[in-house]
Amino acid sequence: MILTTAYLAPVEYYTQLNRAQPIIIEKQDNYIKQTYRNRCVIASANGLQTLSIPIVKPDSLKCLTRDIRIAEHGNWRHLHWQAIVSAYNSTPFFEYYADDFRPFYEKESDFLFDFNEQLRELVCTLLDISPAVSYSSEYITEISSDTLDLREAIHPKKAPFTQDFKPYYQVFESKYGFRANLSIIDLLFNMGPEAVLYL
């Protein structure tokens, strides 16, 4: 299976990480705006909230995802962490996991790809899953018949690749109903160790 890098990716991304072996994360693709590469969606008291990491505008129209730098303007780390705390501090498992995530919002990182992958590795550890992940050394153009290419399928503007989302406990469900396919932290903070069973 081939996936892109993603910032606190949606549940469907981790469902695929949990199912497929082996997995290649594309490192040599051209960066595309308005994708999960630099954004995630969480459930807040005011409804769905998109958190986007600001990036340094590339010098050319085409820039490889691996070379995209994180912009440190706008105090985004503080704003993201405050949004996460505000949305999830009343969930059953936020206190259990908060200290694992907080450091990512207290120190600077140069590259978006590295930041995303460090977060993905943390989430996989917390979920207790061990996907066999490798990274592309060049852009993958030839796709064999037994390879599932989800690089553009898992996208915020497309219907989820996985359609069978069973409801799980969400703090604001009584107010907004169940919201499927949010960032993996929604599942993790609400369900804790049972999150892997959901996947």
The rounded distance, in Å, linking the Cα atoms of 35 and 16 is 17
Which strand (E) or helix (H) includes residue 191? helix 184-191
What is the pLDDT at residue 163?
Answer: 67
Q: pLDDT-derived band of residue 181, with 50, 70 and 90 as boundaries?
A: very high
Residue keyed to tokens 């990512």: 104
Spatial CB neighbours of 100, under 8 Å, sequence gap ≥ 6: 122, 126
- Alpha-carbon torsion (165, 167, 172, 174), positive or negative: positive
What is the pLDDT at residue 93?
Answer: 98
Read off the pLDDT of each residue in 72-99 and give the average, rounded to a whole number. 96
Q: pLDDT-derived band of residue 81, with 50, 70 and 90 as boundaries?
A: very high
What is the pLDDT at residue 60?
Answer: 80
Domain ranges of the chain: 2-198
What is the pLDDT at residue 118?
Answer: 98
Read off the pLDDT of each residue in 174-192 and give the average, rounded to a whole number. 96
For 7-41, write each residue's pLDDT tens digit.
999 999 999 999 878 999 999 999 999 999 999 99
For 40-77, write each residue's pLDDT tens digit.
999 999 999 999 999 998 888 789 999 999 998 889 99
Residue keyed to tokens 């907080």: 102
For 128-157, write each residue's pLDDT tens digit.
999 999 999 999 999 988 899 999 999 999
Q: Which amino acid is at 187?
A: L
Q: Which amino acid is at 174?
A: S
What is the pLDDT at residue 59?
Answer: 80
CB 132 within 8 A of CB 23: yes
